[in-house]
Homo-oligomer: A and B are copies of this chain.
Amino acid sequence: MECRCPHVARSRWWRGSGSGTRWGAGEWASYDGRVSDIPPDLARLRSSIDNIDAALVHLLAERFKCTQAVGELKAAVGMPAADPGREEAQVARLRALADDSGLDPQFAEAFLNFIIAEVIHHHEHLAGGS
């Protein structure tokens, strides 16, 4: 039986070869009899990704609560929605944090720009601008 799963020794799952086994090609089976069309290590990683995504959504919700308050404050005191100096400092800081944590700094910058564009859109809406 051919096994192509790179972590079979740890996960104790086998991939079917399509002949001579009780599971087909493209299926994985554990010693305790479970059969799945998803490699078990992939299922484990996807579970972690789902947990991280839930945390990201909740952090983004909290971030938007803060930026909503910033928008209301800026509108109340007549400050412009965008602040290029602040955004430049944020980008530089996040690129450095990304570099330290093994994230592509270019992606971190694109990510921040993606969020800031949404925030400015909200602020302009609050200020009654375009």
Contact = CB atoms under 8 A, between A and B. Distances in A.
A63 to B, nearest CB: 5
A122 B11 CA distance: 25
Interface string A18-51: 0000000000000000000001011001101110
Nearest to A72: B6
- By secondary structure, the A interface counts as helix
Copies in the complex: 2
6 contacts: A15-B77, A45-B69, A52-B59, A52-B63, A53-B94, A110-B114
Minimum-distance CB pairs A-B, first 4: A61-B101, A61-B103, A52-B63, A57-B97
Given A4-B76, A53-B112, A60-B98, 12 more contacts: A5-B76, A5-B77, A6-B72, A45-B70, A49-B67, A53-B93, A56-B56, A56-B60, A57-B98, A64-B102, A111-B115, A114-B114
Interface of A: 4-6, 15, 39, 41-42, 45-46, 48-50, 52-67, 69-70, 72-74, 76-79, 86, 90, 93-94, 97-98, 101-104, 107-108, 110-112, 114-115, 118
